[in-house]
Chains A and B, each alone.
Chain A
Amino acid sequence: MSASEIGFLALALLAVIGAAGVVLIDNPVRSALCLVLNFFVLGFIYFTLGAPMIGITQIMVYAGAIMVLFLFVIMMLKRQGAMAKPDKPDSRLGLAVVLGLALAVTVYATVIAPQGVTLPLGIKDYGTPQAVGVSLFTNFVWPFEVVSVLLLVGIVGSIMLAKRRI
């Protein structure tokens, strides 16, 4: 096992622990902090894949800005109604676990087992800020512009849903 494989496995393990923590921990603040861990580690995985631009964005936007928003919302809502635990375990939980495992097995059996797993190698200069910028403003300029409509929809839509009655 090479050093890069060990590094990847360590990071992947941390990311999975973080993701599991988000779902399993009852306290919403701790859950959100687990999400921070997951976002951070994901950022590092992007770095190891030779995509520093997306790694930086991941840490700045997700682990930074978005998490602050998450925590704000959790802390504002915390007073109203403590997270009530259901009295009995949800009967659909078992079904969800079975279906989730079925999907995982399908992915493994149809894709991973026949093709084998190789550690992805970052291509040189693939994800540098410069390369990302160039492709954003050449081949991907149109989707980049169209996304502005998406943001506009998000802003106007949320204001419409949140504003007082007319």
Chain B
Amino acid sequence: MNYTIPTVDWSLVLPFALVALTGIVALIIETAHPKRDNGLIIGVSLTGLAATFVLLLTQLVLPPARTFGNMVLRDQFSVLLQLICVAATAVCFMFSDGYLREKKIAFGEFYPLTLWALSGAMVMVSTDNLLMLFVGLEILSIALYCLAGMSRSEARSEESALKYFLLGAFASAFLLYGIAFLFGASGSMSLPDIQKAVTGLTRDTLPMPVFGVMLVLVGLGFKASLVPFHQWTPDVYQGAPTNVTAFMAAVSKVAAFGALARVLVAAAPLHQYWFEALYWIAIATMCIGNLVALVQKDVKRALGYSSIAHAGYLLVALLAYTRDPDKVSLGTTVFYLIGYAAMTVGAFAVVSLAAKGDRDGSRYQDLHGLYRRAPFATVMLVLFLSSLIGIPPTVGFFGKQLIFLDALRTGLVPLAIVLAVNSAVSAYYYLQIMVAAFVSEEGAARPVSRKPGAGMTIGVCVCAAGVIFASLLGGYVQETTRTAALQAKPVPGRVQNQMEVINR
């Protein structure tokens, strides 16, 4: 049997390798010094993340490339999404130590597990092969199941881990079933090949790929928490430790939307079959997310529903892009993800200050007195929440404006209107959170006791800088991803059919 070993360009997998290896080093430090201060682990992890960030920045200008038998793809889209993930993880690490210490769950394993979860997200966004996408998704998910259950003394944390695990496994099964159908229909797991294979199908052969795409969308819709696959989101966001929730909200969503974008681009020839469905899913996601958030009594739960609503906004951006890739750019999605990551991680960071003892205080009244104890963090919370509402000049406003204009440009006027109305509705519960932070602590059941540490302050500042200055990146992101988005379309040339390779 003759075979050729594919040539490998290591620079494409270096960011992933760097993050995974940092995790291993962090774990070795933890085993060498158990029960010690986690300062060294955090230092090593942040150094590794900083190195990865710089490395990715240098790769931003390089032309798109593939390696490892087309399993790894680097284009501007994937590099930008990886940058967001790495930065969000670094901020989570900055505020984690104080929070975990307060809750008495300062496990050193938190850092390596989170780094590996990040590496899974990086695998997910830097490939256009369904097999790699699945492997990345599982790394991210399994690490998150463990992290969600990290606070073992709290029944809620265990419940959230178990719920997330069971529903996540269920969603993975849908995804795998869909991948199997697509493989059966096209003989390949690479998305460009699938796109080519489904382009010329007749009526008789079409059902299989259409069904496959639907199942894949169910699996990814779960990860992105689109209605009606969103049921897990509020429970898991509320039950998981707040720093894990911040990581989950930012990184997991970025990875899911990165994967969703590539799948939808590949499924573009079947546009007529899935577009209508996703159109209504987008409307339902925006409306249900915001309306249910209005009646919540818990900050983390409300932010969970808010993340569902934001998933709806992001889906509008993706739909506008797939409807007319020439008129609008994938950059809108990337830009919104940058803003979303900054404001969500920032908001969760400040909310984590309300934890007291080994319990998470996350009801609205637990935030009372926050302004007295941590004035700076509270002001920043106002900034993050304003951005989540979409008040200018924050990044939230510019992101929503871009999505709104994209939707109008591609004739999705109803979606644009629903988006605008929802933004207005959402202001109510974000304002409620703001007000709770400014109410004085008298009469509060468990007023905030902890003062923010240096890590918290730095992390919050990074997020605030993101919220204020990311708007300046808007034009750049739009331009860069315009070149990348073209690469997301099929590259003419070698079709890697697995059967052919084996038979050769």
Chain A: residues with CB nearer than 8 A to chain B? 107, 110-111, 114-115, 123, 125-126, 130-131, 134-135, 137-143, 146-147, 149-150, 152-154, 156-161, 165-166
Contacts and interface: CB of A to CB of B under 8 A. Distances in A.
Given A139-B501, A146-B135, 7 more contacts: A146-B16, A149-B20, A150-B120, A150-B135, A150-B142, A152-B116, A157-B143
**Which of A107, A115, A149, A156 gathers most chain B CB within 10 Å?**
A149
Contacts of A115: 204-205, 207-208
19 contacts: A110-B207, A111-B208, A123-B502, A125-B502, A134-B502, A135-B501, A141-B6, A142-B68, A143-B71, A149-B119, A149-B139, A153-B117, A156-B146, A160-B107, A160-B113, A160-B146, A161-B152, A165-B152, A166-B106
A142 B106 CA distance: 34
B109 interface: yes
Interface of B: 1, 3-6, 13, 16, 20, 24, 27, 35, 68-69, 71-72, 106-107, 109-110, 112-113, 116-117, 119-120, 123, 131-132, 135-136, 138-139, 142-143, 145-147, 149-150, 152-153, 161, 181, 203-205, 207-208, 210-211, 496, 498-499, 501-503
Q: Name the prevailing secondary structure of the B interface residues.
A: helix
Given A111-B211, A146-B136, A153 B143 contact: yes
B121 to A, nearest CB: 12
A157 B135 contact: no
Contact of B120 (A107, A125, A149, A154): A149
Contacts of A141: 6, 68-69
Given A123-B502, A146-B123, A149-B119, A131 B1 contact: yes
A154 B143 CA distance: 7
Contacts of A125: 502-503
B322 to A, nearest CB: 22
Which 5 pairs, one residue from A and one from B, show the smallest C-beta to C-beta distance?
Answer: A157-B146, A142-B68, A139-B69, A160-B109, A142-B71
Nearest to B143: A153
A153 B27 CA distance: 11
A141 B129 CA distance: 13
A42 to B, nearest CB: 15
B239 to A, nearest CB: 14
Nearest to B152: A161
B132 A160 contact: no
B503 A140 contact: no
B251 to A, nearest CB: 14
A145 to B, nearest CB: 9
A158 B16 CA distance: 23
